[in-house]
Amino acid sequence: MKFAWIAGRFFLAGLGLLFAFVSIGSKQPDADLFASRSSNRLDASENTSADDKTADDLVKDWGKPKFVLFISGRQHGYIEPCGCITLARQKGGLMRRHAVQKMLQARGWDVVSIDAGNQVRRFGQQPLIKIRKTYEALCDQMGYEFIGLGPDDLKLPAIDLAQTIANVDNGASPFTCANVDLLGMTNDHLIVEKGGKRIGITMVLGDEHLESIKQEHVETQTAAAGLKKVIPKIADCDFKVLVAFTGLDLSRELANQFPEFNVLVTAGGAGDPTLRPEIVTADNGHQTAVVQVGVKGMHVGLIGYFEKDGKSRIEYERVELTDRFKDSDDIKTVFKSYQDELKTLWETGNLKDIVERDHPSGNQFVGSSACADCHDEEFAIWEEGAEGDGGPHEEATRDLAQNPNDDRVWVQRHFDPECVSCHVTGWNPQNFYPYKTGYSKLADEDLHGNGCENCHGPGSAHVAIEELVAKGQAVDPEERVQKIREMYLSVSEARLNSCKECHDLDNSPDFLKEGAFDDYWEQIQHGRPAMDKINGLLKSVSKGTRPVEELGLIEDWTADLADQAPDKVAEIEAMLNALGENPNDALEIVNQTLKRLSE
């Protein structure tokens, strides 16, 4: 194995050394492997969520296995839980994963760590840094025996990915795929000896992904072709594992087509891994346990292999990486070096992912304090919260380094674009880049916090025309109304779309639960109810203190009116229709509407 690793390194340097594994004989699988039906997690009728468990409960009813497979995958960029809604309510992360692994090793168990790959989810400088730090954690700190390459990993530039792999200095390459070769640096299989057993492990990338990863220095073949070449090489192993980065249906097809494997680890499935593996029985009667890795690195799967009285069996447990597992100090060190590298690149102007772009509106950001002169009540709520105990959005930038509810303030994150994008004003929250005139450094105090303009849009044009009005200068009333309407965001639109830009499933999963928006809205509720605004505007227009052109604002308010006062919708819509048909009779229509509303 070490020679293959060294060969890949020299190949990258241009020497092009080659290495091939020698085929070995065949061995039939143990027919009694799936016989256990007591506490076997393959049956797992009593296997429940780990929410009410402690770390000490981890597979506490298992005896000592010959070996245990420690299965992870599909990290997809989520190297740690966000922490924005407190870590107690989120799962996953390398620090917790290592804590679980160390617990098993501390028991004296032989652990075989297998990762299915797909460490990143996008492209650019930060994902390359992230995959390098992930590999450092998996290889140098956690000693993974096997690491697969997912399709998103393989979409990174091949030379950069190969160099990243080459820089992991653990003496032997865990990177394996039977049907994808990256510059001669990947194995087509591995044989690991643990607990007196030879464990053969290989991986295939589903054929549906091969077209998307085509690039120079990446050679591919079909999954079936790769497996046909590899299976003879692991034939005499005591236990065989196939990692398949493909969907559930294709994973089942592979288990049936290649009935040599005891366990198939699949990247298929849309959410949490199932509580128990699926048993696929091939045409020849061979059984394969299909185990899902889940998504976003939120779980690990444990498969224990046991022998007693000449019979073998396996047990399975899905482990949720909740806060019952305390962060590993070893991975903390890796993670701090990751944040320190981002900080250095940001401060020196070398973080290439930060490329300012024009906002779609064409306007500029002016900072939340610019809103305070006219919207003093709303600004006070943003700053202090509806109850006066601190506005959660105003505190957003400080939370990256000083959040008292976050156990991870030992490292500052205000140089991490993936964190900054929802914690400052003037960034695209889902694509992690700044807009021109948006936040760029800590000195931009007016752009601290998740400010007014993140929801309402950059305010330069609106502020400019209101400043003219404040100075007593004449402005086009229709233009003024248009600038106001451009800034308006209904509560209904916030509920459906805007808030979810940051309060998404990854960072704020509770936000998507029924009734959650109302609970969150209570903390920052600002602006008058729609009917109060309509009544106030109609009375002002009737008295001549506001121009009739402002009646156009009511069109925007009707969305909230439908939620807040549905019995008034028909009356207001009738008024708007009348105004559209007879604009010259606006004052009469307004007065008639006020009369009917008062009745």
- The tens digit of pLDDT for each residue in 327-366 reads 999 999 999 999 999 999 999 999 998 999 999 999 999 9
pLDDT at 239: 97
Give the C-alpha separation, 351 to 59, whole Å: 44
Structure tokens of 280?
């696929």
Work out whether strand 311-320 and strand 299-308 pair parallel, antiparallel, or are unpaired: antiparallel
The pLDDT of residue 10 is above 70: no
- The torsion angles phi and psi of 201, rounded to 5 degrees, stand at -130, 135
Q: Which of 168-177, 331-340, 537-546, 577-586 has the lowest mean pLDDT?
A: 168-177
Question: Contact, 252 vs 123, CB < 8 A?
Answer: no
What distance separates the 2 farthest-apart alpha carbons in the chain? 96
* Residue pair 455/428 in contact by the 8 Å Cβ criterion: no
**The pLDDT of residue 379 is above 90:** yes
- Predicted confidence at residue 271, as pLDDT, reads 87
**What pLDDT score does 42 carry?**
41
Average pLDDT over residues 303-324: 94
Separation CA 420–CA 440 (nearest Å): 10
CATH number among 1.10.1130, 2.20.28, 1.10.287, 2.40.50, domain 354-527: 1.10.1130
Read off the pLDDT of each residue in 12-31 and give the average, rounded to a whole number. 34
The answer to whether residue 186 scores a pLDDT higher than 80 is: yes
Q: What is the pLDDT of residue 19?
A: 25
Helices within 291-395 (DSSP H only)? 329-347, 376-384
Provide the 3-class DSSP secondary structure of residue 428.
Answer: strand
pLDDT over 70 percentage in the chain: 89
**Is the distance from CB of 152 to CB of 73 less than 8 angstroms?**
no
What is residue 83's predicted lDDT score, i.e. its pLDDT? 66
515-542 average pLDDT score? 94
Q: What is the pLDDT of residue 88?
A: 73
Answer yes or no: is pLDDT of 510 > 90: no
pLDDT at 468: 96
Task: Answer yes or no: are the C-beta atoms of 151 and 209 closer than 8 Å.
Answer: yes
38 pLDDT tier (thresholds 50, 70, 90): very low
Question: Is residue 12 pLDDT above 90, yes or no?
Answer: no
- CATH (residue range 2-26+33-47+63-338): 3.60.21.10
Residue 241: φ, ψ to 5°? -125, 130
Q: For residue 527, is it left (φ>0), alpha (ψ between -120 and 50) or beta?
A: left
Give 104's Cβ-side CA count (13 Å radius). Answer: 29
Burial status of residue 285 (CB atoms within 10 A of its CB: 0-12, 13-18, 19 or more): exposed
Q: Give the model confidence (pLDDT) of 235-286 as tens digits.
A: 999 999 999 999 999 999 999 999 999 999 999 998 899 999 999 999 999 9
Q: Indicate if the pLDDT at residue 20 is higher than 50.
A: no
Determine the residue type at 278.
E
Over residues 175-195, the mean pLDDT reads 96
- Counted residue by residue, the chain has a size of 599
Q: Which of 298, 305, 304 is nearest to 319 (CA)?
A: 298
State how far the Cα of 484 lies from the Cα of 481, in Å rounded to an integer. Answer: 5
Q: What is the pLDDT of residue 408?
A: 64
**Distance separating alpha carbons of residues 334 and 340, to the nearest angstrom:** 10
Give the type of residue at 99.
A
Helix intervals (H) in 544-585: 553-564, 569-581
Whether 406 shows a pLDDT value over 80: the answer reads no
| More reliable by pLDDT, 18 or 295 | 295
Sign of the Cα torsion 430, 155, 137, 248 reads: positive
Do 457 and 525 touch, CB atoms closer than 8 A? Answer: no
Say if residue 195's pLDDT is above 70. yes
Q: Over the range 576-593, which residues count as b (16 or more CB within 10 Å of their CB) and which as e? A: bebbeeeeeebeebbeeb
Q: Who wins on pLDDT, 113 or 387?
A: 113
CA 405 – CA 59 distance, rounded (Å): 30
Give mean pLDDT, residues 473-484. Answer: 94
378 HSE (CA, 13 A, CB side)? 15
Residue that wins the pLDDT comparison between 358 and 32? 358
* Residue 227 near residue 204, CB atoms below 8 Å: yes
Tokens of 499: 């808030």
pLDDT band at 442 (very low <50, low <70, confident <90, very high): confident
Q: Please tell me what DSSP assigns to residue 23.
A: P
Question: Which two structure tokens, joined as six digits, stand for 349?
Answer: 């102007």
DSSP H helices, 87-157, are: 94-106, 125-135
Share of the chain above pLDDT 90, in %: 78
**How many whole angstroms separate alpha carbon 162 and alpha carbon 156?**
10
- Copy the structure tokens of residue 156: 């990174």
Cα 464 to Cα 457: distance, rounded to the nearest angstrom: 14
Neighbouring residues of 502: CB distance < 8 A, sequence distance ≥ 6: 422, 429, 450, 508
Q: Which is more confident, 232 or 81?
A: 232
Q: Which residues contact 277 (CB under 8 A, 6 or more apart)?
A: 41, 42, 263, 289, 290, 291, 316
pLDDT confidence of residue 36: 39
Please check the confidence at residue 34 and state whether its pLDDT lies above 60: no
Domain boundaries, the chain: 2-26+33-47+63-338, 354-527, 528-599
**Which contacts of 227-231 are long-range, i.e. CB under 8 A and separated by 24 or more positions?**
227/178, 227/179, 227/202, 227/254, 227/258, 229/178, 229/188, 230/178, 230/188, 230/189, 230/202, 231/258, 231/260
* pLDDT (mean) for 550-577: 94
- Mean pLDDT (the chain) is 88
Q: Which residue has the tokens 């965001």?
A: 489
Backbone angles phi, psi at 266, to 5 degrees: -110, 145
Q: How confident is the model at residue 167 (pLDDT cuts 50, 70, 90)?
A: confident
Q: Give the E-state strand segments of 178-298 in sequence order.
A: 180-182, 190-194, 197-205, 218-220, 239-245, 263-266, 278-281, 287-292
